[in-house]
C-alpha cells in the first residue's frame, strides 16, 4: 500500500450522517435516516442491538437535523427475537453480517413498515 504522507481528516459517524442529511436537503430531497440492521449475533437468547452505538448515533443525528428516523435496528431485532436464533441464522451468509436474499426481503419489508409509520412523510402516498 502506497502512503501519501498527507493528513486526512476523518469525522465521526454522526458527523457524516448529519452532513448527508444537510446535503440531501440542499438537493431538494427529504432525508430519512435508518439505523443499521442488526447482525446475527446473539446473547441470552436475544439478538444484539446497536442502540448504544451506531443506532443511537443515527437517531441523534436525525434528531439534531430534524430529519425522519426509522429505528430499523429495533424493528428487525424484535422480529429476529420472535423468529429465534436457528431460523434467523438461516437468513445469513457464512458471516454474521450479510443476509441471503430472503433475509434482505424481510429487512426491506420491515423498512417499508417503518416508512408507513411516518405519517408526515409524503412518500407514504406512493407506498402500497
- Does residue 60 fall inside a structural domain? yes
- Does residue 1 fall inside a structural domain? no
- Residues 36/127, Cβ–Cβ less than 8 Å: no
Contact partners, residue 119, CB within 8 Å, separation at least 6:
none
pLDDT in tens, 39-72: 999 999 999 999 899 999 999 999 999 999 999 9
Strand partners, 33: 69
Q: What is the pLDDT of residue 5?
A: 84
Q: What is the pLDDT of residue 127?
A: 83
- Mean pLDDT, range 73-95, rounded to an integer: 96
The domain containing residue 97 runs over which residues?
A: 13-126
Q: Is the pLDDT of residue 124 over 90?
A: no
Q: Length of the chain in residues, anyone?
A: 128
Q: Which H or E run includes 99?
A: none
C-alpha cell belonging to residue 16:
457524516
Strands 42-43 and 46-47: antiparallel
Q: Is the pLDDT of residue 125 over 90?
A: no
- Does residue 6 fall inside a structural domain? no
Q: What is the pLDDT of residue 93?
A: 94
How many domains is the chain built from? 1
What is the reported pTM? 0.88
Q: Is the pLDDT of residue 1 over 80?
A: no
Q: For residue 33, what is the domain's CATH number?
A: 3.40.50.1110
Amino acid at each position: 500500500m502506497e502512503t501519501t504522507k498527507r493528513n486526512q481528516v476523518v469525522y465521526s459517524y454522526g458527523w457524516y450522517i448529519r452532513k448527508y442529511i444537510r446535503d440531501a436537503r440542499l438537493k431538494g430531497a427529504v432525508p430519512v435516516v435508518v439505523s443499521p440492521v442488526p447482525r446475527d449475533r446473539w446473547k441470552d437468547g436475544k439478538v444484539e442491538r446497536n442502540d448504544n452505538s451506531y443506532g443511537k448515533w443515527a437517531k441523534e443525528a436525525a434528531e439534531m437535523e430534524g430529519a425522519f428516523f426509522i429505528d430499523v435496528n429495533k424493528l428487525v431485532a424484535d422480529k429476529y427475537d420472535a423468529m429465534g436464533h436457528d431460523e434467523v441464522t438461516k437468513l445469513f451468509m457464512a458471516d454474521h453480517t450479510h443476509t441471503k436474499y430472503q433475509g434482505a426481503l424481510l429487512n426491506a419489508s420491515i423498512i417499508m413498515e417503518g416508512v408507513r409509520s411516518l405519517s408526515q412523510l409524503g412518500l407514504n402516498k406512493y407506498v402500497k
